[in-house]
Structure 1
Amino acid sequence: MTAEQGTEAHTDAPANTLRIVLVDDHAIVRHGLKSILERERDLEVVGEASTVAEAEAVVDRTRPSIVLLDLKLSTGADTEGLELCAELTRRHPKLAVLVLTTFVDDSLVVAAIQHGARGYVVKDVDTTELLRSIRAVARDESAFDSHASAAMVRSMRVQPEQPRFTERELKVLQLLARGLSNRDIGAQLYISETTVKFHVRNIMRKMDASTRAEVVYEASKLGVI
């Protein structure tokens, strides 16, 4: 039985459950993750895969909310998962990909974002942080553990021309970088969640970014945050 065949969606899951596919070439890692995630009432593992082909098939079939993706899926290239990330997010634009890997090379963190990942955490992350990251990317927010955040900052070399931001947009940017949700940003700035969304959209447009993760990265590179 292949990894892709080994897990099927539960039919009695609540409508608001976050449906997750695990993509990792080690069965013991997938089994351990599944055991951890399915203790949570709002999380359900609906599929598993160990190869690129299996991952594409299981995601096409199960239409998950989130993919937990290892970047190394074979004994060959260490970055096979990058192209898979790009392909999955191209096919399924609403899909949230959270990289969960052993590698924390600076360039890989940036490349993962550029290939469509919404977050990046390493496998020694504690359970609480992993669950927080999963729920963050499901809300279309960015998620980086301390290793990935440090790598992202170290990777910044060039200071491109800075877009013009309003004072309120700069405050929103700073709170985005801290990983706050739209609701929490609104509470901090005493504005509505709808207004926060408006500012975030404007910021993304000005930075030519398609995800919140890209916004945080680009803003850090510009020295805005």
Structure 2
Amino acid sequence: MARPRGAPVVNAAPPVRVAVVDDEALVRVGLTAILSTAADLTVVGEAADGAEVPPLLARTRPDVLLMDVRMPRIDGLQATRHVLATSPSPPRILMITTFEHDEYVYAALHAGASGFLLKRSRPEEILAAVRVVAAGESLLFPAAIRRLAAAYARPAPPAALTEREGEVLRLMADGLSNAEIAGRLVLGVETVKTHVGNVLAKLGARDRTQAVIAAYETGFVVPGS
């Protein structure tokens, strides 16, 4: 059917480009199959080791890198550090792990990964996780972050946050999105984004994941509170 004359042309957003890195072929196949069921996601490449990540990124330019933590030669932690240190426009990195208390996961989050995903996650959870990270949010499991931060805490003087910025940071630590924080504090989403930006700048954090980790490590947010 022809488009009516004068009707606006709606350009759908291009699908999120995802690359999968895991040393187990079965895991790569499974993740690719799950991601391929979503019209808004497309798998553009895969690799079996962290050493293969740089050429993979150069070849496919993904928006999101779904990467295993533990791999035989170069693990996900080393690969994350390399990507974020050398790429002028790095993809969002979503770590895959078997155990949520994995110390490698904590180190990867500290290095700048946007979140982590358990391998036992349901397909719909995997799809939702990729979308969250692609949208610029961080995928946090507050309970796991609290446990990990308590184990690796390095107390330091807190940043000079305003009272409102402190409220925003505490809600970030609870895993709330900008929209959820706006609803909780009765603020506009753009106002919340401004506060989040100020928090990141004052904490010297790359993203909200690092900000939350810093909040626990400095004692600004107390694990278990």
| TM-score bin (small chain) | 0.7 to 0.9
Residue 183 (structure 1) shift = 2.5
Please point out which of 100, 109, 113 is paired with 1:113: 109
Aligned Cα root-mean-square deviation (Å): 2.2
Cα offset, 1:96, TM superposition: 0.4
Report how far residue 64 of structure 1 moved: 0.6
- Structure 2 distance, partners of 1:158, 1:146, is 18
For residue 4 of structure 1, what is the aligned residue in structure 2?
none
1:138 and 2:134 are equivalent in the alignment = yes
Report how far residue 115 of structure 1 moved. 2.4
Corresponding residue for 1:82?
77
Question: Corresponding residue for 1:196?
Answer: 192
Greater Cα radius of gyration, structure 1 or 2: 2
Distance 1:216 1:64 in 2: 26
Give the equivalent residue in structure 1 for 2:8: none
Q: Residue 104 of structure 1 contacts residue 151 of structure 1 at CA under 8 Å; is this kept in 2?
A: no
1:42 lines up with 2:37 in the alignment: no
SS of residue matched to 1:179: coil
Alpha-carbon distance between aligned partners in 2 of 1:82 and 1:131, rounded to the nearest angstrom = 22
Work out the number of aligned pairs and report it. 209
Trace 1:179-218 onto structure 2 (pairs within 5 A). 179-218=175-214
Given that residues 106 and 154 in structure 1 are in contact (C-alpha distance below 8 angstroms), is that contact kept between their aligned partners in structure 2? no
1:73 maps to a residue whose letter is M
Q: TM-score, normalised by structure 2?
A: 0.83
8 Å CA contact 1:72–1:80 kept in 2: the answer is yes
Deviation by residue 1:156-178 (Cα, 9 ceiling, x = unmatched): 43321112222211221122123
Aligned equivalent of 1:95: 91
* Unaligned residue ranges in structure 2 (runs of 5+): 1-11
Q: Distance in 1 between matches of 2:142 and 2:178?
A: 21
- Whether the aligned pair in 2 keeps the contact of 1:83 and 1:115 (CA below 8 Å) is no
Moved more, 84-93 or 148-157: 148-157
Identify if the C-alpha distance between structure 1 residues 83 and 218 changes in structure 2 by more than 3 Å, giving closer, same or farther.
same
Q: 1:160 aligns with which of 156, 177, 181?
A: 156
Shift in Å at residue 106 of structure 1? Answer: 4.9
Cα deviation, residue 145, structure 1: 3.6
- Percent same amino acid at aligned positions? 36
Instruction: Map Cα deviations across residues 84-138 of structure 1 (whole Å, 9 max, x no partner).
Output: 1112223153410010022444532321023221112221223333333222222
Q: Which runs of 5+ in 1 are unaligned?
A: 1-13
Q: CA contact under 8 A between 2:80 and 2:111: conserved in structure 1?
A: yes
Checking the alignment, whether the CA contact within 8 Å between 1:19 and 1:46 is kept in structure 2 is yes
In structure 2, what is the Cα distance between the partners aligned to 1:139 and 1:120?
Answer: 15
Distance in 1, Cα, partners of 2:118 & 2:156 = 29
Report what 1:174 is aligned to.
170
Give me the whole-angstrom Cα distance separating, in 2, the residues matched to 1:71 and 1:162.
Answer: 30
CA contact (8 A) 1:71 1:99 kept: yes
Alignment of 1:65-76 (within 5 A): 65-74=63-72
Kept in 2: contact 1:140–1:212 (CA 8 A): no
* 1:163–1:66 Cα change, 3 Å: same
Q: In the alignment, is the contact (CA less than 8 A) between 1:158 and 1:221 conserved in 2?
A: yes
1:54 aligns with one of 48, 52, 55:
52
SS at structure 2 position matched to 1:47:
strand
